[in-house]
């Protein structure tokens, strides 16, 4: 039996005296589309960052493609596309969309994009319907256009695993539709997708599983919640979370890997 794409075993993450995650165990297998759901402060982003080596592992083990995250030289990060939460700072730079996407091929000790990088970057922008904006500075982009640029930056790696942190936040319905189309194409090509969401929204019907975090631990790992009544429309499908989830938010680690 092949190794799972992601394995998390008895994970605890703490920043000083604040425990953000505890007793977290889960597995993601090849080809799955998995949502990580939970209220603000439940530990969703911290879990993903820990899985990528961007947050400290206080206890437990994490494996990506069978390699322990504690030995980053063994982890095939070139097989992973990561789309963090959209940062306001990036939208103020004079960098063009094409340059942002090409930067996704820099990493693994490579200081410059490889041969053919421009053509690959243009293909990725085409996938998210932004090829005509390739040479425009991202500081003039809408929230949806910027998010799709970051998606293209992840796609240019031709990743086997795609991880997205709140990709629908702050973007309009049309941009959400385009984003979902790109993810469907990736999944059809065999990619595994993990997406952090506050509400399922347009991901309804696309997900295989949902992992729900509450107060730093997993409260549900299985079928996504079913919509009911007026919540049945895509824009209203969401998970109800317990009140009193006051786990402190994680400190923001450096996201400058690869």
Q: Where are the domains of the chain?
A: 6-236
Q: Does residue 195 have a pLDDT over 80? A: yes
Instruction: Please give the span between the terminal C-alpha atoms of the chain, in angstroms, as a whole number.
Output: 30
More confident position, 254 or 61:
61
Q: Does residue 241 have a pLDDT over 50? A: no
- Confidence (pLDDT) at 161: 97
| pLDDT level of residue 107 (50, 70, 90 thresholds) | low
- Confidence (pLDDT) at 46: 95
- And the tokens for 48? 């993903």
Q: Are 235 and 204 in contact (CB under 8 A)?
A: no
Q: Does residue 115 have a pLDDT over 90? A: no
- Confidence (pLDDT) at 37: 96
Q: Which of 119, 239, 128 is nearest to 175 (CA)?
A: 128
Per-residue pLDDT averaged across 18-45, rounded? 96
- Confidence (pLDDT) at 225: 81
- Confidence (pLDDT) at 90: 64
Q: Does residue 183 have a pLDDT over 60? A: yes
Give the range among 96-110, 119-133, 183-197 with minimum mean pLDDT. 96-110
Helix crossing, 143-155 with 173-188: angle to 10°? 10
- Confidence (pLDDT) at 168: 83
- Confidence (pLDDT) at 31: 95
d(CA 163, CA 209): 14
Q: Residue 90: helix, strand or coil by DSSP? A: helix
- Confidence (pLDDT) at 258: 36
d(CA 28, CA 193): 9
| pLDDT level of residue 105 (50, 70, 90 thresholds) | confident
Q: Residue 8: helix, strand or coil by DSSP? A: strand
Q: Does residue 151 have a pLDDT over 50? A: yes
d(CA 208, CA 212): 13
**Domain with residues 6-236, CATH architecture:** 3-Layer(aba) Sandwich (3.40)
| pLDDT level of residue 181 (50, 70, 90 thresholds) | confident
More confident position, 249 or 166:
166
More confident position, 2 or 252:
2
**What are the start-end ranges of the E strands in the chain?**
6-15, 18-28, 33-38, 59-64, 67-68, 80-83, 161-165, 192-197, 209-214, 217-222
Average pLDDT, the chain: 83
| pLDDT level of residue 3 (50, 70, 90 thresholds) | low
Geometric angle at alpha carbon 225, from 205 and 211, rounded to 5°: 95
Would the CA dihedral through 86, 251, 18, 27 be positive or negative?
positive
């Amino acid at each position: 039996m092949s190794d799972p794409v992601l394995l998390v075993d008895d994970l605890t993450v703490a920043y000083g005296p604040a425990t953000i995650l505890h007793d977290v165990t889960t597995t993601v297998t090849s080809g799955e589309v998995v949502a990580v759901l939970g209220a603000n402060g439940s530990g969703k982003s911290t879990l993903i960052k820990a899985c990528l080596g961007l947050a400290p592992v206080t206890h437990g083990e994490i494996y990506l493609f069978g390699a322990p995250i504690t030995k980053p030289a063994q982890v095939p990060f070139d097989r992973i596309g990561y789309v963090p939460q959209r940062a306001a700072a990036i939208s103020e730079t004079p960098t063009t969309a094409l340059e942002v996407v090409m930067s996704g091929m820099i990493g693994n000790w490579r200081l410059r994009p490889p041969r053919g990088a421009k053509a690959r970057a243009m293909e990725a922008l085409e996938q998210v319907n932004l090829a005509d904006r390739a040479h425009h500075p991202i500081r003039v982009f809408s929230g949806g256009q910027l998010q799709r640029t970051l998606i293209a930056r992840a796609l240019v790696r031709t990743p086997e695993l795609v991880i997205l942190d709140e990709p629908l936040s702050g973007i309009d319905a049309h941009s959400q539709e385009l984003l979902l189309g790109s993810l469907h194409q990736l999944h059809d090509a065999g990619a595994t997708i993990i997406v952090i969401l506050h509400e399922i929204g347009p991901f309804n019907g696309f997900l295989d599983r949902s992992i729900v975090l509450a107060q730093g631990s997993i409260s549900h790992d299985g079928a996504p919640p079913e919509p009911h009544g007026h919540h049945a429309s895509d824009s209203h499908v969401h998970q109800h979370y317990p009140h009193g989830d006051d786990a402190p938010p994680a400190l923001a680690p450096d996201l400058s890997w690869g």
